[in-house]
Structure 1
Amino acid sequence: MGKVRIVEPVNLVIFMFSSHIDYWFNEVKDELVSLFGPMDYVSDALDFEKYTLYYNEEMGSGIIGRLISFERLIHPSLLSMIKVKTNEIELKYAVDGKRRFNLDPGYMHHMQFVLATTKMWPHRIYIGHGIYAEPTLMYINGRWKDYDFTYPNYKEEVYKEELSKIRELYLEKRKNYLRQVFEKKGR
């Protein structure tokens, strides 16, 4: 029988995309910070529209995204509630039922990148509150490896490079967290 272990905290990451990304990022940045704490990384603009036109009718053309990392680590069980909250923010700014931006929360662990979704699919795991977890990428042998079902944008090197930057920040935070845990146990 395996021993139940304490779950390590993970790094909250939100992928925000919109046809007016800079405007909407500036509009909701303070709200995101008030909910999830200070941001420690915001990626350069990432092309999103070349991977799908699915959102164009709702948001317009020229959709660009940014990956946002938050300084505070979270327990992975919070992902479903975070997705519920980001959905509420999207609806708050919607016009005539059409979202102006999308907030896709997920988390970075040293071995994986996981996204939250409301849509059921065979490889997704239900995590509560109507939300599923999507294993998106795994980190193995020093690089990101995608799955057959990984969203096309996350299969691209430019996205993986940005996620690697966030992973490096996470590894430093994780090291500090583990040092504090071991210091407390040593007392």
Structure 2
Amino acid sequence: MGKIKDIDRVNYVIHFFSAGNTDYWLYTEGVYNELVKHFGEIDYISDEIDFQKYTYYYNMEMGQNVKIKARMISFKNLYSPGFLAEAKTITNDIEKKYSVDGKRKVNLDIGYVHHMQFVLASTKPWGNRIYLSKGIYAEITLMYVYEQWKAFDHSYQNFKDKEYQEELTKIRNLYLEKRKKWLAGKIR
């Protein structure tokens, strides 16, 4: 019989994207404050990333003539990976709050970085996703193997890109420092 061990804490991350200037929605419209209210202090926000080069899918909802840009956001506090389903329902509620006429103006893809993987939450079932609860599934989007991110056939194209993986590496490095402190009992 296997011995049950304590669950390793993880670093929650949001892939935030919107049409036009991400700063407008993040700061002017108050998405930043919503995120802090629910997930705690933010310790990293990437520069804007061109999300438009991967897909035009979201233009139907966010605007046909506007470029969609993204940022990767990391939270300071470490949480249980078991919080993922609840976290996704929270981000869905925030997306609804900032919708206009039923169309999202911001998209908040929540997941987490662990030293071995990057996991995303989804409301859509698929063969590579595991059901959690509350209608939410988890997908291992990337694995960290031999000091680099490894994508899968099912991984979203943007997360296969070097630019995104570099951002996730920065967040992973922050996580590793926080994890050392957590394992040593220096942070909760």
TM-score tier after normalising by the smaller chain length:
over 0.9
**Runs of 5+ consecutive residues of structure 2 not aligned to the other structure:** none
1:167 pairs with 2:172: yes
Residue identity matched to 2:14? I
Q: 1:84 aligns with which of 84, 89, 95?
A: 89
- The CA distance in 2 between the partners of 1:86 and 1:123, in whole Å, is 22
Moved over 6 A (4+): none
Larger helix percent: 1
1:35 and 2:38 aligned: yes
The one-character-per-residue Cα deviations of 1:106-132 (angstroms, maximum 9, x if unpaired) are 000000000000000000000101000
Aligned: 1:25 with 2:26:
yes
Matches within 5 A, 1:108-127: 108-127=113-132
Partner secondary structure for residue 177 of structure 2:
helix
CA shift, 1:31, in A, is 1.2
TM-score for both structures, normalised by structure 2: 0.94
Provide the residue aligned with 1:184 in structure 2: none
Q: Deviations over 1:68-114 (max 9, x none)?
A: 00000010010100100100010011111000010010000000000
CA RMSD after TM alignment: 0.9
Q: CA deviation at 1:57?
A: 1.1
2:147 aligned residue: 142
TM-score (norm 1): 0.95
Shift of 1:22: 1.3
> Quick one: which amino acid aligns to residue 28 of structure 1?
V
Corresponding residue SS for 1:6: coil
Matched, 1:54 2:47: no
Please list the CA deviations of residues 56-76 of structure 1 after superposition, one character each: whole Å capped at 9, or x if unmatched. 010123000000000000100
User: What residue is the counterpart of 2:107 in the other structure?
Assistant: 102
Aligned mates of 2:118, 2:4 — CA distance in 1: 22
